[in-house]
Amino acid sequence: MRDGDLHAYVDGQLDPARRIEVEAWLTEDVEAARRVQAYRDQAEALHALFDSVLIEQAPAEINALQSKLAARLPTNDNHIPWFQAHWLRAAAMVALVTAAGVGGWYGRDGMGGRSVATGSGSHLPVLVAFAEEAANAHNFYANSRFEVEMGADDQDALNGWLSERLGRPVFGPELTSAGFRLIGGRSLPTDTGVGVLYMYESDRGERLTLFVGAPQTGESAAVSYVQRNDIGLLYWAEGSLSYALAGRFKREQLTRFAQAVYQSLKDEPAKRRKSNDPASGGKAQPPAMPPSGTGVPRPSAPSEQIQPSSGDNKPKPS
Amino acid sequence: MDGVVSSLRADLENHIASLRRYARALLRNSSDADDLVQETLSRALSRADKFAAGTNLRAWLFAIMHNIYVNQVRRLAGRPGESSIDEEGMENRLSEAARQESRIELRDLSRALDAIPEEQRQVLLLVALEGLKYDEVAQVLGVPIGTVMSRLSRAREAVRQKLSGNGAGSVLRRVK
């Protein structure tokens, strides 16, 4: 057994026949097996260290160059098949979440204080506060009778209204690929400014919320994971908007949903640009009164607004 | 044709994400890293007609970046990570609490990476982080594949030794 075979085995660069031989050998050579494990751990930790780059928005200059380059290159590249086209980002998301368990640079036991990453910039405390609001909002509204102010029957109207509240265009991402349908949304006054909460539901009645706001984070920030009691959150900032995806899910599940969010955020603006400009009026008119529960009729909804019953870190109902 | 064009776009997007990650890992500073990627793409654009259809776009892009890095960045930049703000940010991030399941302390890995020779670090990152094939790495770095293998082997062993110096065996459960 050569040293090169061991590395090629770790790196998945052996042909199948040789791989079987190496595997047989590894069952007998404890030290070699230990090395294989160590090298795999190294690779995993490298991903944990650096994969956050993959889902950070690239600078505009790089995006512009990318477009120009795509137009100039001869097209007969050794292209990745279409079904692998998004492997890289998907891999990044998976690795990030793995990192939450393996590398552990994220806070694990709550979002307040020192348990949360206080990392690479002054914007992070704001983003952490934003995530805190998102967790509270999920906790409070996911099982509330007043889960939404406005239903998703007319998504253009919903998006238009919430865009108006937020002061910039926003929309509820399409998450059917992740098994969730949008049931509505609401706006919330929070300590980090107006926030918009989109509520999703799976066929099994599980709730997922996407909280969108425009806190002054200063810059984009990579996806972070935190857990607050049994609610998991993935949150990040991109452009002027910050996002927090929350639900009672395992990290891996949440990551899968975040991929769908990310994909939709990436795909949708172009589609919607024409039809959903809140400044241009049209269908996207805010309702005079937020129609509580519209489109999501709930039996015997009480007529009074729910007030936060205790604690001061619950979001104020708008 | 549409399918081919759009797959090239998807490839390019993935390659650029990969270039950005590699640049970040080399330079440990996001703005320096993105400057390097930007310069790489500018050069790729100016040489786009020299790229042969059907050859390896990823290796071509990484090779351009490697040349810029070797000829310009490294000369100017000193050791990666030294006194860079991002590095401190990362250290902070990595110093954060509870890691019950941790196999490798990320901060220790970060230091181990800094401590190994740059030629080994590049090979390790290209293989273990970016998933390049050995022959691609050879192409990118302009060295024989045997050199790639020996650098890879030395890099992995060096990192393993440095990490195991901090704990017991390959599974590290540090108690601070």
Q: What is the ipTM of this complex?
A: 0.83
Please state the rounded mean pLDDT for residues A119-127. Answer: 54
Q: Is A279 helix (H, G, I), strand (E, B) or coil?
A: helix
* Residue ranges of A 282-311 with Cβ closer than 8 A to chain B: none
The answer, for B165 touching chain A at a CB cutoff of 8 Å, is: no
Find out whether B157 and A36 touch, Cβ atoms under 8 Å.
no
Spatial neighbors of A236 by CB under 8 A, at least 6 apart, are A55, A220, A221, A222, A223, A224, A242, A243
Contact A69 B44 (CB under 8 A): yes
Q: Quick one: what percent of chain A has pLDDT higher than 70?
A: 66
The DSSP letter of residue B72 is I
The mean-pLDDT minimum among A110-114, A188-192, A261-265, B39-43 falls in A110-114
Tell me which chain A residue has its CA closest to the CA of residue B20: A53
The answer, for A122 touching chain B at a CB cutoff of 8 Å, is: no
The answer, for B111 touching chain A at a CB cutoff of 8 Å, is: no
Pick from A39, A41, A105: CB nearest B96: A105
Please say if the pLDDT value at position A15 is more than 90. no
Question: What residues of B are in contact with residue A98 (Cβ under 8 Å)?
Answer: none
To the nearest whole Å, the CA of A45 is away from the closest chain B CA by 6
Contact B16 A35 (CB under 8 A): no
Q: Quick one: what percent of chain A has pLDDT higher than 90?
A: 23
Contact B160 A104 (CB under 8 A): no
Distance CA B41, CA A286 (A): 44
Spatial neighbors of B125 by CB under 8 A, at least 6 apart, are A46, B22, B25, B26
Please state the rounded mean pLDDT for residues A137-144. Answer: 81
Please say if the pLDDT value at position A273 is more than 80. no
The pair of three-digit structure tokens given for residue B66, joined into one six-digit string? 């490697």
pTM of the predicted protein model? 0.50
Contact B4 A76 (CB under 8 A): yes
Tell me which chain B residue has its CA closest to the CA of residue A62: B38
Distance CA A243, CA A66 (A): 26
Contact A46 B7 (CB under 8 A): no
Please state the rounded mean pLDDT for residues A224-250. Answer: 86
Contact B7 A53 (CB under 8 A): no
Interface mutation target, options A105, A116, A250, chain B, most CBs of B under 10 Å: A105
Q: Is A151 helix (H, G, I), strand (E, B) or coil?
A: strand
Question: What residues of B are in contact with residue A106 (Cβ under 8 Å)?
Answer: 96
Average of per-residue pLDDT values in chain B: 79
The answer, for A266 touching chain B at a CB cutoff of 8 Å, is: no
Pick from B7, B103, B124: CB nearest A80: B7
* Residue ranges of B 42-81 with Cβ closer than 8 A to chain A: 42, 44-45, 48-49, 51-57
Pick from A50, A85, A88: CB nearest B7: A85
Distance CA A163, CA A171 (A): 7
Distance CA A162, CA A120 (A): 31
Pick from A45, A85, A104: CB nearest B98: A104
Please state the rounded mean pLDDT for residues A62-71. Answer: 89
Distance CA A108, CA A116 (A): 7
Please say if the pLDDT value at position A128 is more than 70. yes
> Which of A108-117, A232-241, B98-107 shows the highest mean pLDDT?
A232-241
Question: What residues of A are in contact with residue B11 (Cβ under 8 Å)?
Answer: 77, 79-80, 85
What dihedral do alpha carbons A35, A39, A45, A46 form, nearest 10°?
150
To the nearest whole Å, the CA of A300 is away from the closest chain B CA by 45
Q: pLDDT tens across B106-141, in order?
A: 889 999 999 999 999 999 999 999 999 999 999 999
User: pLDDT-based confidence at A141, cuts 50/70/90?
Assistant: confident
pLDDT of residue B97: 33
Distance CA B66, CA A171 (A): 41
User: pLDDT-based confidence at A26, cuts 50/70/90?
Assistant: very high
User: pLDDT-based confidence at A75, cuts 50/70/90?
Assistant: low
Distance CA A79, CA B133 (A): 15
Please state the rounded mean pLDDT for residues A112-125. Answer: 41
Contact A43 B13 (CB under 8 A): no
Contact A38 B160 (CB under 8 A): yes
Tell me which chain B residue has its CA closest to the CA of residue A70: B9
What is the spatial order of strands in the sheet that A150-151 belongs to? Answer: A150-151, A180-190, A193-202, A207-213, A241-247, A231-238, A221-228
